[in-house]
Amino acid sequence: MAEATTKSTKTFVSNKDESVRMFKSDFMELFSKVHFTVPLYIFVPVILALFGFSFFYFNLSVWVVLGLMPLGVFLWTATEYLMHRFVFHFVPQSSWGLRLHFVFHGVHHDYPNDSRRLVMPPIISVTLGIFFFSLFTWLIGIALACPFFIGYVLGYLFYDLSHYALHHYNFKSKFWLDLKHHHMYHHYKEPDRGFGVSTKFWDHIFRTLFTKDLAK
């Protein structure tokens, strides 16, 4: 397998739409860069298929589908927070562990505005999607897992697209400005706090708001 390159001697956080090469292999390097619309091409058909299975194969009612979808979205927000906090920000001490951490998330903190590394690469998102759908199927059965997973995927898409937007769009609404300020503070002030991207809810629950907020 191609070995990821370590960070360069660059010691500042770049605010440009740029990044560093991560893999020696051109093939691996190509697939480490993703246009922000790619998750839509992959997961919108999945959502449509799940709607089809829910209504026409399992004959679920509209109320069952609409009732399970918000639960799926809610569980995604928890997944987003926990993965960001305990997986993406876990820094191993071994050389290979540090290299893996840089590939998964360290590069994003060094080059936060790289437009090609703001959404999850398909090899990761699809693998995680298969894992979680299988888990939900095992827990609640495939019929209920279909609408539940629709909400879960919608939550993921909102996370991926909002993450891109927080780095590359200028907002006017209070909601988006507040969310952008929250995420930028995570990048530039306190990276060990503020792990919520699409929502600050779990930062409130687990007391990981920024120290300036906790002091109020």
pLDDT in tens, 146-188: 999 999 999 999 999 999 999 988 889 999 999 999 999 999 8
Average pLDDT over all residues of the chain: 85
- The residue ranges of every structural domain in the chain are 39-214
Q: What is the DSSP letter of 57?
A: I
What are the φ and ψ backbone dihedral angles of 41, each rounded to 5 degrees?
A: -60, -35
pLDDT score at 16: 62
Q: Tell me if residue 140 falls in helix, strand or coil.
A: helix
Q: 4 - beta bridge partners?
A: 23
pLDDT in tens, 43-75: 999 999 999 999 999 999 999 999 999 999 999
